[in-house]
Structure formats: C-alpha cells, structure tokens
A and B are shown apart, each in its own frame.
Chain A
Amino acid sequence: MSELAHTWSNVVVILIFLFSFAALLSWIERRLLGVWQDRYGPNRVGPFGMLQSVADAIKLLAKEDWIPPFADKALFVLAPAVIATTTLLAFAVVPIAPGIGVVDLNIGLLFFLAMSSLGVYSIVLGGWASNNKYSLLGGFRAAAQMLSYEVFMGLSLMGVVMLAGSFNLRDIVAAQEDLWFCIPQILGLITFTVAGIAEARRLPFDLPEAENELVAGFHTEYSSMKFGLFFIGEYVGIILISAVMVTLFFGGWLGPLLPPLMWFLLKTFIVIGFFILLRASLPRPRYDQLMGYGWKVMLPLTLVNLLITGAIVLAWGL
C-alpha cells in the first residue's frame, strides 16, 4: 500500500512541477532572449516579471473558445489533447533521481520514441481539421519533417543502447558511472540534438509554425485553452527532450557533492538554456534545405556512428 502511495505522490508531484515549470519556461525563454538580444523582455508583472506567465494563462483562459464552422469538429478538439497526452506520457519513463520517477520500464527508451512519434498526429490532424490553407501547409510540413527526423532520432540513440546493453533508462544512467556517454557517443549526441530540436519543433526547425510565412501554421485557427494546450505541449516537449538528453548523454542524476535531484535539474536547465540560445542565434532554413540536411547529412552520420560503435563494442567485447 505504501508503495502505491509512493508511486502516486511521485506522479502528482512530477505533474504539478512539470506544468508549473512549463508555464514558467515561457517567461524564462523571453527573459533569456531579451538578454541575448540586448533588451529587457517582460519585466513588469511581479518580481522580475515572473508572474507574466500567470497573466498569460489568465488571458488565454478568458478568451473565447472558438471552433470554426468549417472545421472537422471532433478532430479539431482531439488534436491539442494528443500532443499534451503523449509528451506527458513520455515523461513517465524519465528517471529523475533514484526513487523519483513514475515507472521503471524495461523498454523505456523505445516507449519514449513511440510517444514522440505519436505526437506528430496532433500537429498533422490539427492542421488538417482546421480546414485552412495555412494550417494545412503547416500540417504537411510537420508530417514530412517529423517523419524524416524521427528516423535518425531512433538510430542516433542505438549507440547508447549498445554501450549500456539495455533499453531501460535507469540502467543507461547507471552505465555512465565512469564516463558520460557524451564523450564516446559524441556523434550520437550531435545527431540526437538536431533531431530533438526538430521533434520539439523549435527554431531553427519550426517550419510547421513559421509565423512569418504561414500566419501561425498548424494552430492558426486555435484559440483560448486549445491553443494553450499546444503551447503547454511544446514547452513540456522541450523539457522532455532536455531531460532525455541529460539521461542518455550527460549521466542523468550522477555527479559529485550535490544531491542527485539537484544535478538532474541543473543539467536539464543548462540544456534548456542551450535550446533557447539556439533560437536566439540561428535563422530558419528553407524547407528543401531542411529535408536535404536530414536525409543527406544526419542519416549517414548516424549510420557511421552505429558502425563505429558496433565495431568497437565487438572488438573490445564490452
């Protein structure tokens, strides 16, 4: 019984923390962007503008929840729920610290990949159900982009699996006791970072949204809390990718002196900061450049990485 209580308290605390951090992240992002672009960013509401996200949430909730008459109603409502569900579900397998985490799944890494590949439907169906040219274009871009970047996202992680000998994320963290995988798997780390940004649809890979060509891309027709769910889904997605990257390549909760939980949060925050820095500094590529880059550069790179890792594992019998 106490084990059940432990699991449930884990679930509730992680969920609340995740939601509040995702909301706060929009403020953090705008402030950091401000720093890197030599301006202030939102600094009026509350101390340092911290309550800006609360104000945004109230504004979103108070807006009219509008379903366009020309939309496919059922799918239009379903689409934002899918992205929020899949990203939150994927978080279930992330090992935050010893004893903190929702479920210890033997196929944890595959579960993460499965959930991130199901997340595509949200964007694609949202774009289709809106029955709007710009939304449809955003949906098309999302389908092709996420499908092609998923291929080498999975492949880029297989080197880590080979070295750790397990799909279980806790085992993978434990295998990094001596050396973080970011050093032997540097190619895997690079390709996973690129794929991760594309999966989270962040700039420079935010072509499904591309507000200066497609209005707001797939969520042009969305308002109020349905838009809010896409928003939350995107920010939880960023946290998810960062947390998984820390788990797989930067030793998860491992580190000297500080308690494991602090290490995990610190590393995750640094990776999130890196993602925001990318947004502040890189321009968006053209669509054909994006596809060509994925298939002609990143995919061969992951295959080379797999080949080298496989050869080394075979030679040294790790």
Chain B
Amino acid sequence: MEITFYLSGAIAIAATLMVITGLSAVHALLYLIVSLLAVAIVFFVLGAPFAAALEVIIYAGAIMVLFVFVMMMLNLGKAAATKERNWLNPGMWVGPAILAALLLAELLYIFAQGGGTSPTVMVDAKAVGISLFGPYLLGVELASLLLLAGLVGACHLGWREGREGDDVGLARGSGEGWAAGDGRGHENG
C-alpha cells in the first residue's frame, strides 16, 4: 500500500505541474483530471474510501466536465497558445513559486518532527456523515447558504429576456438559458 501512496502522490504532482505549464487549455484540464484521480487514490490508500469516491464523482466527474464544457465553447487555437507562452515568464510564476516553496519547507519541518505517520483508521461514509452533521453542522449550513445564493444568481442571469448569445448564460450549462443560445453560439464557431 505504501508504494501506491507514493506513486499516486508523484503522479498527482507531475500532473499538476503539467496543468500549470501546459499551453493548450483542454490538455491542461485533462492533466487536472488525472491529478484529481491520483489524489482520490491517495485518499483511498489513507483509509478514506468515501472521500475518494466523492472526489471522483464530484470533482473529476462533474465540476471538471463543466470546465471542459466552457473550454470547448471558447474554441482556443494557436493564438491562445502563443499568448499563454508569453504569460509564462518568470514575473508570473516567481511569486506563487516562493509561496509554494514555503509550504514545502513547512511540510518538511513537520515530517522532521516525526509527525509524518498518521494512524490509518478507516473513515467510512457513516463517520463522514456523523462528523458533518455533528461538530461541523454550522459549516454545512453556511456552505448550503452559499450554494443557494449561487443558484439564485445563476437563475437570475439565465432568466434574462433579451438573449443576445451572451456567454454568461451559456456557461451555466443547464436550463433553457443555454439551450436557447445553443443554435446561435455555433454558427460562427
């Protein structure tokens, strides 16, 4: 099990690097999906199969599909790739790289303290549910409020009468808002 943990961890890191340095948006998203799947395997190995399954279903299987959907809509070509290449100058990545290096140093410090080995306890669906609706109930309620606000906002944006093929309505991916814009959006695409 140890080897699967390190292997999938390495895959996750490599794939994430490819996400950041990739020039084609759709290819970068594919690497992001691979990275999410690798993280799911890490969860599984650590004894949290429920979290692993949810990671695949929600992140890799639903949210990323929406991302791919929007990327397909944009129809980015060679021009976008050269633009990306120009953006990838040191000025862009030095700041985040320093912050990430600090996090890495912190992590190494924790490992050096000997806190690296976590006790592997099986965290099943029941345990997740009990902790979500027990000590973390307030967090769940706040998250649901946030989602409700997002839903109402999306509904409002999609409801607009004059639909001039705006990409806001299209990006929702559901409801009549995008279905009506569908035919028009691709005539010129």
Residue numbers of A with Cβ under 8 A of B are 72, 74-75, 106-107, 110-111, 113-114, 117-118, 120-121, 124-125, 127-128, 133, 136-137, 139-140, 143-144, 146-148, 150-151, 154, 167, 287-288, 291-292, 295
**Interface residue total, chain B, C-beta cutoff 8 A:** 32
Asked if B5 CB lies within 8 Å of chain A CBs, one says: no
Q: Is the CB of A150 within 8 A of B61?
A: yes
Partner of A107, one of B33, B50, B73, B180: B50
A147 surroundings in chain B (CB, below 8 A): 62, 65-66, 69, 173-174
Of chain A, the residue at the smallest CB distance from B187 is A133
Asked if B49 CB lies within 8 Å of chain A CBs, one says: yes
Complex: how many Å from CA A147 to CA B61? Answer: 8
Question: A-B pairs with CB below 8 Å: how many?
Answer: 98
B186 surroundings in chain A (CB, below 8 A): 133, 136-137
- A143-B176 contact, Cβ under 8 Å, with A114-B57, A120-B65, A128-B72: no
B53 surroundings in chain A (CB, below 8 A): 107, 110-111, 113-114
Q: Is the CB of B68 within 8 A of A143?
A: yes
Partner of B175, one of A74, A127, A295: A295
B33 surroundings in chain A (CB, below 8 A): 121
Q: Is the CB of B65 within 8 A of A288?
A: no
Partner of A140, one of B50, B69, B176, B180: B69
Complex: how many Å from CA A133 to CA B187? Answer: 9
Q: Is the CB of B174 within 8 A of A75?
A: no
Q: Is the CB of A288 within 8 A of B26?
A: no
Give the interface SS of chain A, mostly helix, strand, loop or mixed: helix
Complex: how many Å from CA A237 to CA B33? Answer: 22
A-B contact pairs, 23 of them (CB 8 A): A107-B53, A107-B125, A110-B50, A111-B53, A114-B61, A117-B56, A118-B61, A120-B61, A124-B69, A128-B26, A128-B68, A128-B72, A136-B189, A137-B186, A143-B68, A144-B173, A146-B65, A148-B173, A150-B61, A154-B57, A288-B179, A291-B174, A295-B175
Interface string of B56-79 (1 = CB under 8 A from A): 110011100110110011000000
Partner of B182, one of A118, A139, A140: A140
Complex: how many Å from CA A128 to CA B26? Answer: 9
Q: Which of B27, B61, B62 has most A Cβ within 10 Å?
A: B61
Q: Is the CB of A288 within 8 A of B180?
A: yes
Interface string of B9-31 (1 = CB under 8 A from A): 00000000000000000110010
Partner of A287, one of B49, B61, B179: B179
Interface string of B72-100 (1 = CB under 8 A from A): 11000000000000000000000000000
Residue numbers of B with Cβ under 8 A of A are 26-27, 30, 33, 49-50, 52-54, 56-57, 60-62, 65-66, 68-69, 72-73, 124-125, 173-176, 178-180, 182, 186, 189
Q: Is the CB of B174 within 8 A of A144?
A: yes
Q: Which of B27, B54, B60, B65 has most A Cβ within 10 Å?
A: B65
Complex: how many Å from CA A113 to CA B72? Answer: 24
Of chain A, the residue at the smallest CB distance from B178 is A144
- A121-B49 contact, Cβ under 8 Å, with A75-B26, A150-B61: no
Of chain B, the residue at the smallest CB distance from A129 is B26
Q: Is the CB of B179 within 8 A of A143?
A: no
Complex: how many Å from CA A124 to CA B68? Answer: 8
Partner of A143, one of B30, B54, B124, B173: B173
Complex: how many Å from CA A158 to CA B62? Answer: 18
Complex: how many Å from CA A27 to CA B3? Answer: 46
- A117-B57 contact, Cβ under 8 Å, with A147-B65, A147-B174, A150-B62: yes
Of chain A, the residue at the smallest CB distance from B180 is A288
A128 surroundings in chain B (CB, below 8 A): 26, 68, 72
